[in-house]
């Protein structure tokens, strides 16, 4: 069945596209990529698989975002606004007919907080079969215990950071992430004041 044969009321795509992006979809079964507009140095290809999801999964995801558990909220605070090494994470991300707790499209990484129970647990990935269905799209999974999030956030974040560093060693670093890190470094380490107490902002 091709893409155009799918019922629109049952199918959405998790597009994160800006006006500078264009979409190339050869077929429903084939690979689907988002391609960035060419810059001055040539084309920048972002091989980012587009993961389809059902309308029911989207509805459940919206509900779960309003009813996050304590451990999910604590981890979300550390992941949101590109706080995790400059990468953008989404929470309660619908994929196929399921939902992952957190997802980064640039890393193609899904983070699952194990030990969490939702009212809609039947659409939350909690078993190997469901995980395998999403891994077939090239998504990697990092599973974290809910108690570790609550009791040992430092080591929890270190686990995520180590995964990202391994990813970057194999795949390189996104240019936007590099700029974000440079900006954060400037904010965290402002230049020392000029001798004599002069402030360049006062000029």
DSSP 87: B
Per-residue confidence (pLDDT) for residue 203, from 0 to 100: 52
Q: In this structure, are residues 102 and 110 in contact, taking their beta carbons and an 8 Å threshold? A: yes
Per-residue confidence (pLDDT) for residue 24, from 0 to 100: 33
Is the entire prediction scored with pTM above 0.75? no
Per-residue confidence (pLDDT) for residue 188, from 0 to 100: 75
- The parts of the chain modelled with pLDDT lower than 70 are 1-48, 116-126, 196-203
Q: Which of 31, 22, 16 is nearest to 106 (CA)?
A: 16
DSSP 38: P
Helix (H) or strand (E) holding 22: strand 21-24
Per-residue confidence (pLDDT) for residue 19, from 0 to 100: 28
Q: Is 18 helix (H, G, I), strand (E, B) or coil?
A: coil
CB-CB neighbours of 114 under 10 Å: 14
Sign of CA dihedral 182, 161, 103, 113: negative
CATH superfamily of 53-188: VSR Endonuclease (3.40.960.10)
Per-residue confidence (pLDDT) for residue 72, from 0 to 100: 95
CA separation, residue 165 to residues 70, 107, 114, 162 (Å) = 27, 11, 23, 5
Q: Which of 96, 124, 102 is nearest to 13 (CA)?
A: 96
Per-residue confidence (pLDDT) for residue 153, from 0 to 100: 97
Region for residue 95 given its phi and psi (left: phi exceeds 0; alpha: psi -120 to 50; beta: otherwise): beta
Tokens read off for 152 = 């040992």
Per-residue confidence (pLDDT) for residue 127, from 0 to 100: 72
Per-residue confidence (pLDDT) for residue 137, from 0 to 100: 92
DSSP 41: T
H helix count then E strand count, the chain: 6, 9
How far is it, in rounded angstroms, from Cα 182 to Cα 178?
6
Per-residue confidence (pLDDT) for residue 136, from 0 to 100: 93
Q: In this structure, are residues 137 and 49 in contact, taking their beta carbons and an 8 Å threshold? A: yes
Tokens read off for 174 = 């996104």
How far is it, in rounded angstroms, from Cα 79 to Cα 23?
27
Per-residue confidence (pLDDT) for residue 200, from 0 to 100: 54
């Amino acid at each position: 069945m091709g893409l155009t044969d799918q019922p629109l009321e049952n199918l959405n795509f998790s597009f994160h596209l800006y006006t500078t992006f264009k979409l190339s979809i050869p077929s429903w079964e084939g690979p689907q990529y988002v391609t960035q507009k060419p810059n001055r140095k040539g084309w920048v290809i972002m091989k980012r698989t587009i993961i389809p999801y059902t309308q029911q999964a989207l509805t459940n995801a919206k509900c779960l975002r309003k009813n996050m558990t304590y451990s999910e909220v604590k981890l979300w605070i550390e992941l949101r606004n590109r706080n995790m090494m400059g990468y953008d994470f989404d929470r309660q991300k619908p994929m196929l007919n399921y939902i992952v707790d957190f997802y980064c499209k640039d890393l193609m990484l899904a983070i699952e907080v194990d030990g969490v129970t939702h009212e809609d647990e039947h659409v939350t990935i909690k078993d190997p079969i469901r995980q395998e269905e999403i891994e077939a799209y090239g998504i990697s999974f990092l599973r974290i215990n809910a108690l570790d999030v609550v009791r040992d956030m430092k080591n929890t974040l270190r686990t995520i950071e180590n995964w990202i560093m391994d990813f970057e060693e194999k795949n390189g670093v996104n240019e936007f992430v590099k700029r974000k890190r440079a900006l954060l470094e400037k904010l965290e380490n402002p230049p020392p004041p000029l001798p004599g107490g002069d402030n360049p902002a006062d000029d």
